[in-house]
Each structure stands twice: as structure tokens, then as C-alpha cells.
């Protein structure tokens, strides 16, 4: 892979397209659609603090325009941008109950890809000026090209992903993605609207000292998770570890990938479910994690080997630096 720092995302796509095992033009179209929507959503997210001046969601602003909630806005922008690129035959979004078929009545439709997206993850953080993100996951359809897209095209295990990534709307806005050949991060220069390669070949450090979990729910966790959290807090060697939890998966993941850490969203003894969605959140993050020398597991099974049964399926999610996730797994296994 060629890495030149300060290369633009556009240049990077062209120079590295041979490493994509399918058509290079297809990959460019997909990533271009995502980077374009990311810029539009970034612009809107950055204005979120002006809500009292520009008008709240559900209200009409002084220019007479209806204001939308940011997650609805992001959902529409990503869907419209992807749908217009003659590359995607279907889109599933965390914001929509059902998947959306694109031009399915057009017999000449040669579009081969399905995209699954969480358009604005962690959106409860917008009101308090904390980072949010977009997460995306891309597959080749499994049903024949030219026929209507089906649920089967979306319910593929994560190990079939051809690309995945996220946008983090943070102190800087970044686009981080993989096509199965490592993970690269691009930072937006908002003045000119260009993404630059700022973080080539991102890797989770093998070890880390950060654990990220909503500890308020401790009482509902599996005993193995509880024991691991206690282990993180013990005074021994490089422990106690540091606890860091933003409540925005993208930001928590991004920090842990750079600094070394583990993210945990276990199932709850009350609901018997995790919170995070396998298709929109866990699979894309798992693909990135593994491409960056990390691990993502549901506890017993590798996240990307889970065969999905429904679009909005939730799974427990443990992800991060190898040695940390392996240690957690030792604790989980004690109670199997």
C-alpha cells in the first residue's frame, strides 16, 4: 500500500485502488459518495450549537425552512448521496425499519453493493457538544444483479464485508475506513473541504490501559465482565487502568485504537440483550478492529462470524487491543 502523508483522500483512492479485489471504479464511487455525504453532515453538525438562533428541530426557522433533527438529516443525506451513484442496489439504516431498494424496477440496473449505515451514532451527545459519528458497512449483494435486492443481501456475516468505516465529527472531523488492506484515517480541512491522509495504517497497540464501559449498569453485567472490571481496577503492574467512556461508540473506539484500550457493551441480565446493533455498529467496527490488529468478540463468538437473523439485531460487543480482549475472555470463560 502506498502511503504519503498529506495525500488527499481523492489521490489515495486512485493510488490504492488496485488493492481492492473488485472493480476499482466501483470502490471509488462508494468512497466518494461517503466522503461527500460526510462533508455535508459535518457542516450541519458543526452548526448544531446554533440551534436556538437557527431554530429547533420540528420548528420553522426565520427563512421559513423546516428544521430537522440531525439524525434524520444525516440519514437523508447519506441515503440520497449513495442512491445517486449507480453503484448501490440497497441501503439499510439504523433509522429505518426496513431496507430501501434502489431502482429495483430497472432491469438494466447493474448495481452490486448494499450499504448498511448508522447515520448519526451517539446522537444524544449532540445537545452537549460532544462528538458523534457515522458508521458504514459495505457488502456485495448475494442475489443476482438485475433482480430486486432482498433481505438476504443484508443479512450477511461481517466476514463478507468489502469495506467499512466511520466518520467522527470531533475536534477535527475524520474519515477512517478499511477495504481489507489495513485502516487509514483522513482529516478534513474544513476551510477547503478536503480530507487529507493524516493517520496512515492505524493499529491498536497490543496492550492498553484504558477500559470503556457504562459502569452504571455494572449490577446487570455477567459475572465474568464484573470480575474483569475489578481486575482493571486492581493495583498491580500497570493497573489500575484508566476508565474513559464518552457514550459515542465511534469516539470511544477511535481513542482506544490510537491509545490502546478495550470497549465493552455487555448484555444485561434484565433484557438478556446488548444494546449495539450487529449490522450497523458491531460488524463495521469489528472489521476495522481486526484490520488494525485488534479483536472484536461477542463473548464466545467472533463478531464477524455471527450469522445475522434480523436487520436490527443487538449483540454484546467487546472490542479493542489484543491482550486486553484476550484477558477479558479468560474471565468470561470461567463462568461458561
Residues near ligand AHM (CB under 6 A): 94, 118, 121-123, 214, 247-249, 275
**Contact between 118 and Mg ion (CB under 5 A)?**
yes
* Residue 124 assigned to a binding site: yes
Q: Which residue is nearest to Mg ion (CB)?
A: 121
Closer residue to Mg ion, CB minimum distance, 121 or 252:
121
- DSSP secondary structure string, 36-105? HHHHHHHHHHHTGGGHHHH--TTSB-TTSPBP--HHHHHHHHHHHHHHTTS-EEEEEETT-SS-EESSTT
Picked from ligand AHM, Mg ion, none, the partner binding residue 19 (CB below 5 to 8 A depending on kind) is none
Work out how close the CB of 244 gets to ligand AHM at its nearest, in angstroms, rounded to a whole number.
12
Maximum Cα interatomic distance, the chain, rounded to a whole number of Å? 65
Q: Which stretch binds Mg ion (CB under 5 A): 22-30, 100-108, 121-129, 227-235?
A: 121-129
Listed as own residue / partner, the contacts of 297-305 with beta carbons closer than 8 Å and 24 or more positions apart are: 297/325, 297/329, 298/274, 299/222, 299/266, 299/329, 299/332, 300/332, 300/336, 303/158, 303/278, 304/157, 304/158, 304/159, 304/161, 305/157, 305/158, 305/159
CB 92 within 8 A of CB 311: yes
Q: Is 118 marked as binding a ligand?
A: yes
Q: Does 121 bind Mg ion (CB under 5 A)?
A: yes
Rounded distance, CA 96 to CA 75, Å? Answer: 9
Q: Measured from the CB of residue 277, what is the shortest distance to Mg ion in angstroms?
A: 6
Q: Which is nearer to Mg ion, 93 or 111 (CB)?
A: 93
94 is in an annotated binding site: yes
> Which residue lies nearer to ligand AHM by CB, 97 or 238?
97
Least distance to ligand AHM from the beta carbon of 120, Å? 7
User: How big is the site for Mg ion, counted in residues (CB under 5 A)?
Assistant: 2
* Minimum distance, C-beta of residue 61 to ligand AHM, in the bound complex (Å): 25
Q: According to the annotation, is 15 in a ligand binding site?
A: no
Lookup result for grid cell 457515522: 134
Residue 98 CB partners (closer than 8 Å, separation 6+): 92, 311
> What is the DSSP annotation of 231-249?
HHHS-BTTBSPEE---S-H
Of 10-18, 119-127, 159-167, 217-225, which segment contacts Mg ion by CB under 5 A? 119-127
Q: Check whether 334 is labelled as a binding-site residue.
A: no
Q: Is 95 in the site for Mg ion (CB under 5 A)?
A: no
Residue 112 binding partner per list Mg ion, ligand AHM, none, with a CB distance cut-off of 5 to 8 Å that depends on partner kind: none
H-run or E-run covering 174: strand 173-178
Is 123 annotated for ligand binding?
yes
Q: Which residues pair with 140 in a beta bridge?
A: 113
Based on CB atoms, which residue is closest to ligand AHM, 120 or 162? 120
Q: 283 and 166 in contact (C-beta within 8 Å)?
A: no
Please give the annotated binding residues for Mg(2+), written as ranges: 94, 118, 120-121, 281
Residues that bind Mg ion (CB under 5 A): 118, 121
Please give the annotated binding residues for substrate, written as ranges: 121-124, 214, 245, 275
Amino acid at each position: 500500500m502506498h502511503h504519503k502523508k498529506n495525500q488527499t483522500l481523492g489521490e489515495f483512492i486512485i493510488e490504492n485502488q488496485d488493492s481492492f479485489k473488485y472493480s476499482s471504479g466501483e470502490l471509488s464511487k462508494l468512497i466518494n459518495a461517503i466522503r461527500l455525504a460526510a462533508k455535508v453532515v459535518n457542516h450541519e453538525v458543526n452548526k448544531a450549537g446554533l440551534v436556538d438562533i437557527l431554530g429547533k428541530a420540528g420548528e420553522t426557522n426565520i427563512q421559513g425552512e423546516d428544521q430537522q433533527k440531525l439524525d434524520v438529516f444525516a440519514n437523508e443525506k447519506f441515503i440520497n448521496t449513495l442512491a445517486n451513484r449507480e453503484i448501490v442496489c440497497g441501503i439499510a439504516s439504523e433509522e429505518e425499519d426496513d431496507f430501501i431498494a434502489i431502482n429495483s424496477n430497472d432491469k438494466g440496473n447493474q448495481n452490486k453493493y448494499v450499504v448498511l449505515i448508522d447515520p448519526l451514532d451517539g446522537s444524544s451527545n449532540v445537545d452537549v457538544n460532544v462528538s458523534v459519528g457515522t458508521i458504514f458497512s459495505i457488502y456485495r449483494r448475494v442475489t443476482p444483479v438485475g433482480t430486486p435486492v432482498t433481505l438476504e443481501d443484508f443479512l450477511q456475516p461481517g466476514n463478507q464485508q468489502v469495506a467499512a468505516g466511520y466518520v467522527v465529527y470531533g475536534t477535527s472531523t475524520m474519515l477512517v475506513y478499511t477495504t481489507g488492506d489495513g485502516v487509514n484515517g483522513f482529516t478534513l480541512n474544513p476551510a477547503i473541504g478536503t480530507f487529507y491522509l493524516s493517520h496512515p495504517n492505524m493499529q491498536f497497540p497490543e496492550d492498553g490501559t484504558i477500559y470503556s464501559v457504562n459502569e452504571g449498569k455494572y449490577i446487570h453485567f455477567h459475572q465474568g465482565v464484573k470480575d474483569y472490571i475489578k481486575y482493571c481496577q486492581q493495583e498491580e503492574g500497570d493497573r489500575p487502568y484508566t476508565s474513559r467512556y464518552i457514550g459515542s461508540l465511534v469516539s470511544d473506539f477511535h481513542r482506544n485504537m490510537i491509545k490502546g484500550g478495550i470497549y465493552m457493551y455487555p448484555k444485561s441480565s434484565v433484557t438478556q440483550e446488548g444494546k449495539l446493533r450487529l449490522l450497523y455498529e458491531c460488524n463495521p467496527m469489528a472489521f476495522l478492529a481486526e484490520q488494525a490488529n485488534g479483536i472484536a468478540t461477542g463473548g464466545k463468538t467472533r463478531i464477524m462470524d455471527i450469522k445475522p437473523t434480523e436487520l436490527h439485531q443487538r449483540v454484546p460487543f467487546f472490542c479493542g487491543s489484543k491482550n486486553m480482549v484476550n484477558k477479558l475472555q479468560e474471565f468470561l470463560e470461567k463462568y461458561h
